[in-house]
């Protein structure tokens, strides 16, 4: 045994942010269904056209079907794209931007050599460490998901699809004109002149022309205009329609959180109800609602876990688990007040706000989750009030969504009461089964079984299958000790990237929905 009391045969690779209760995975699975073809790390729409054009050129002109040849061409192209962007516009969301800024500042001559920073030379700093650059780390999977790229027999280099990719490659080539030949020659040389960077500025992400075939192609892809669009394409299209609708309701360029709350509440933050939606839009909106309510639920549980860990920190020598739970439960019960003798009493104490997205009601979901997320600060200890906010939010969700359990079950694809899955559905059922139990008994069971035991089980699975050591507390000789902390988080449902894409193709602007956006919403 090691001095830390760990078996020497374990690979202790500590990680944070790996879903300590295993509950975020349901939210992640849900938003993957909501916005397929876009991810949280696909940051600019024009990369889709750039890669279609690059793969088209490589397939037709390289004569080298090897993965190594494709990798070299790809990485040089991405490095040059970062340079041309930072030389002119400093557009955000471009892979390798920090390297490009440093390279441009450090090079005083007329020519800038970049091949040594792209060809995986271990002696030189690389524009990106990932073997296949931003394509491999972010865009490749989504290019296949949107039907822009595909695989062919006999080699592993991707090619544009005849149905979508070929047309997008041609539209991108037409949009950049003569800059395309200049770009490809610079990739071949591995160097570019400053005057050439000026010529290449037409390729930057923000340079998509509003009335261009290229822009129209992006819109057609995002909104699944092809007659043989897949269910995934249609799901993405409907989610993006909801983003446009919500922006129209709100009347300003939204943040991702604004879209989440608008689709959850079907009201704006002032309580003004949204206009009617079509049946298809309402169905997709319910999918977003299920995602959001599940996210709120797991954040509550993660806040309770954080509070347990904060209390445990006060026992540096460790403490028996039952004693720890006694202390935690006693502090929460005291903070709740003597009148809260059961979870049913807590529910009765809450008047559901008509608008969940309001700052004017203490028990609105918006206010309560903001209190819950205070536990995300790992440098300071939370108090019992954060745990109370988490419990009150659970009570709000219980009152609002217990009648919706069958529909939520169907939406979240759960299988009965499987011990391997916890979600808003399993937890509403747990609370329903214990709503009339004495509150200390309910809290003990919830914190022991639904939080601590759940965390330990998840951590064991991650150690067994991934080699990641994610235990936040450990047991030794009947006592538990603090190892690390993790706080509550909401997952990121690809909305920021979606909003950026819609902005890139001029459907959204500084004042919200544009004329092109309204045309897209109306299907013109």
Share of residues in the chain with pLDDT > 70 (%):
95
Buried b (16+ CB within 10 A) or exposed e, 256-280: bebbbbbbbbbbbbeeeebeebeee
pLDDT of residue 384: 97
User: Is the per-residue pLDDT at 416 higher than 60?
Assistant: no
Contact 439, 341 (CB under 8 A): yes
User: Is the per-residue pLDDT at 5 higher than 50?
Assistant: no
Q: Taking the CA atoms of the chain, what radius of gyration do you get in angstroms?
A: 26
Say which range, 183-187, 203-207, 402-406, 415-419, has the weakest mean pLDDT. 415-419
User: Tell me: the pLDDT tens digits for 18-70?
Assistant: 799 999 988 998 999 999 999 999 999 999 999 999 999 999 999 889 999 99
User: Tell me: the pLDDT tens digits for 118-145?
Assistant: 999 888 999 999 999 999 999 999 999 9
Share of residues in the chain with pLDDT > 90 (%):
85
Confidence tier at 341 by pLDDT (50, 70, 90): very high
- Angle of helix 97-106 relative to helix 67-88, nearest 10 degrees, comes to 70
User: Is the per-residue pLDDT at 418 higher than 70?
Assistant: no
Q: Are strands 479-482 and 149-152 parallel, antiparallel or unpaired?
A: unpaired
pLDDT of residue 153: 86
pLDDT of residue 125: 93
Q: Which residues pair with 438 in a beta bridge?
A: 342
Confidence tier at 9 by pLDDT (50, 70, 90): very low
Average pLDDT, the chain: 93
Q: Is 269 helix (H, G, I), strand (E, B) or coil?
A: coil
User: Is the per-residue pLDDT at 6 higher than 60?
Assistant: no
CA atoms within 13 A on the CB side of 333: 16
pLDDT of residue 365: 98
CA–CA dist 132, 122 (Å, integer): 15
User: Is the per-residue pLDDT at 516 higher than 90?
Assistant: yes
User: Tell me: the pLDDT tens digits for 353-396?
Assistant: 999 999 999 999 999 999 999 999 988 899 999 999 999 999 99
CA–CA dist 156, 66 (Å, integer): 7
CA–CA dist 332, 328 (Å, integer): 6
CA–CA dist 206, 187 (Å, integer): 22
Say which range, 63-67, 200-204, 229-233, 490-494, has the weakest mean pLDDT. 63-67
Q: Which residues pair with 193 in a beta bridge?
A: 111
Residue 175's Cα: distance from chain center in Å?
31
CA distance readout (Å), 88 to 81, 115, 189, 241, 313 = 11, 20, 21, 33, 51
User: Is the per-residue pLDDT at 7 higher than 50?
Assistant: no
Angle, CA 371 vertex, CA 366 and CA 375 arms, to 5°: 135
Torsion region of 154: left, alpha or beta (phi above 0 gives left; psi -120 to 50 gives alpha): left
Contact 100, 125 (CB under 8 A): no
Q: Where are the domains of the chain?
A: 20-33+282-482, 46-207, 231-277+495-522
Instruction: Give the DSSP H/E element, type plus range, for residue 192.
Output: strand 191-193
Contacts of residue 398, Cβ cutoff 8 Å, sequence gap at least 6: 343, 347, 428, 431, 432, 435
CB atoms within 10 A of CB 334: 11
Q: Is 482 helix (H, G, I), strand (E, B) or coil?
A: strand
pLDDT of residue 63: 82
User: Tell me: the pLDDT tens digits for 71-124?
Assistant: 999 999 999 999 999 998 999 999 999 999 999 999 999 999 999 999 998 889
Contacts of residue 198, Cβ cutoff 8 Å, sequence gap at least 6: 87, 88
Q: Is 86 helix (H, G, I), strand (E, B) or coil?
A: helix
pTM of the model: 0.93
pLDDT of residue 22: 92
CA distance readout (Å), 209 to 89, 203, 222, 485, 506 = 15, 11, 17, 48, 9
User: Tell me: the pLDDT tens digits for 276-324?
Assistant: 899 999 999 999 999 999 999 999 999 999 999 999 999 999 999 999 9
- Angle of helix 256-265 relative to helix 279-312, nearest 10 degrees, comes to 110
CA–CA dist 335, 99 (Å, integer): 51
Q: Is the dihedral of CA 384, 389, 394, 399 positive or negative?
A: positive
Contacts of residue 478, Cβ cutoff 8 Å, sequence gap at least 6: 320
Contact 365, 294 (CB under 8 A): no
Residue 511's Cα: distance from chain center in Å?
25
Say which range, 256-260, 351-355, 410-414, has the weakest mean pLDDT. 410-414
CA–CA dist 286, 263 (Å, integer): 8
Contact 54, 75 (CB under 8 A): no
CA–CA dist 68, 370 (Å, integer): 49
- Angle of helix 179-189 relative to helix 165-176, nearest 10 degrees, comes to 100
CA–CA dist 109, 185 (Å, integer): 19
pLDDT of residue 336: 97
Confidence tier at 417 by pLDDT (50, 70, 90): very low
Contacts of residue 251, Cβ cutoff 8 Å, sequence gap at least 6: 511, 512
Say which range, 8-17, 163-172, 184-193, has the weakest mean pLDDT. 8-17
User: Is the per-residue pLDDT at 4 higher than 50?
Assistant: no
User: Tell me: the pLDDT tens digits for 431-488?
Assistant: 999 999 999 999 999 999 999 999 999 999 999 998 999 999 998 888 999 999 999 9
């Amino acid at each position: 045994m090691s001095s830390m009391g760990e078996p020497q045969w374990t690979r202790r690779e500590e990680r944070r942010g790996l879903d300590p209760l295993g509950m975020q995975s349901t939210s992640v699975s849900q938003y993957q269904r909501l916005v397929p073809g876009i991810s949280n790390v696909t940051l600019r729409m024009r990369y889709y056209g750039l890669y279609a054009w690059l793969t088209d050129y490589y397939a037709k002109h390289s004569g080298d079907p090897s993965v190594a040849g494709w990798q070299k061409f790809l990485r040089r192209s991405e490095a040059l794209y970062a340079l041309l962007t930072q030389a002119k516009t400093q557009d955000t969301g471009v892979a390798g931007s920090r390297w490009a800024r440093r390279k441009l500042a450090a090079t005083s001559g007329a020519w800038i050599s970049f091949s040594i920073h792209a060809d995986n030379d271990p002696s030189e700093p690389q524009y990106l460490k990932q073997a296949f650059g931003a394509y491999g780390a972010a865009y490749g999977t989504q290019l296949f998901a949107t039907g822009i790229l595909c695989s062919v027999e006999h080699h592993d280099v991707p090619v544009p699809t005849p149905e979508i990719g070929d047309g997008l490659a041609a539209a991108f080539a037409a949009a950049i004109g003569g800059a395309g030949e200049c770009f490809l020659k610079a990739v071949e040389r591995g160097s570019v002149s400053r005057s050439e960077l000026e010529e290449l500025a037409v390729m930057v992400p923000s340079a998509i022309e509003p009335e261009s075939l290229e822009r129209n192609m992006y819109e057609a892809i995002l909104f699944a205009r092809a007659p043989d669009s897949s269910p995934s394409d249609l799901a993405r299209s409907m989610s993006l329609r909801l983003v446009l609708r919500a922006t129209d309701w709100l009347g300003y360029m939204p943040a991702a959180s604004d879209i989440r709350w608008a689709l959850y509440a079907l009201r704006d933050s002032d309580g003004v109800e949204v206009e009617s939606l079509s049946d298809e839009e309402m169905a997709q909106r319910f999918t977003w609602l299920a995602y959001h309510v599940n996210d709120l639920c797991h954040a509550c549980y993660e806040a309770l876990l954080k509070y347990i860990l904060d209390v445990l920190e006060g026992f540096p020598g460790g403490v028996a688990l039952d004693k720890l739970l006694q202390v935690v439960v006693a502090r929460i019960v005291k903070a709740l007040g003597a009148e809260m003798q059961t979870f049913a009493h807590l529910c009765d104490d809450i008047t559901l706000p008509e608008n969940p997205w309001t700052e004017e009601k203490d028990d609105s979901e918006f206010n309560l989750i903001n209190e819950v997320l205070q536990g995300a600060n790992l440098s300071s200890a939370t108090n019992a009030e954060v745990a109370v906010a988490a419990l009150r939010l659970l009570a709000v969700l219980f009152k609002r969504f217990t009648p919706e359990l069958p529909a939520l079950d169907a939406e979240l694809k759960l299988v009965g009461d499987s011990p391997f899955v916890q979600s808003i559905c399993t937890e509403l059922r747990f609370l329903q089964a214990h709503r009339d139990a004495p509150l200390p008994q309910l809290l003990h069971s919830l914190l022991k079984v639904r939080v601590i035991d759940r965390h330990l089980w998840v951590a064991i699975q991650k150690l067994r299958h991934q080699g990641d050591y994610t235990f936040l507390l450990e047991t030794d000789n009947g006592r538990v000790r603090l190892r690390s902390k993790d706080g509550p988080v909401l997952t990121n449902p690809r909305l920021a990237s979606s909003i950026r894409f819609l902005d890139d193709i001029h459907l959204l602007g500084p004042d919200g929905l544009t004329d092109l956006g309204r045309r897209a919403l109306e299907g013109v």
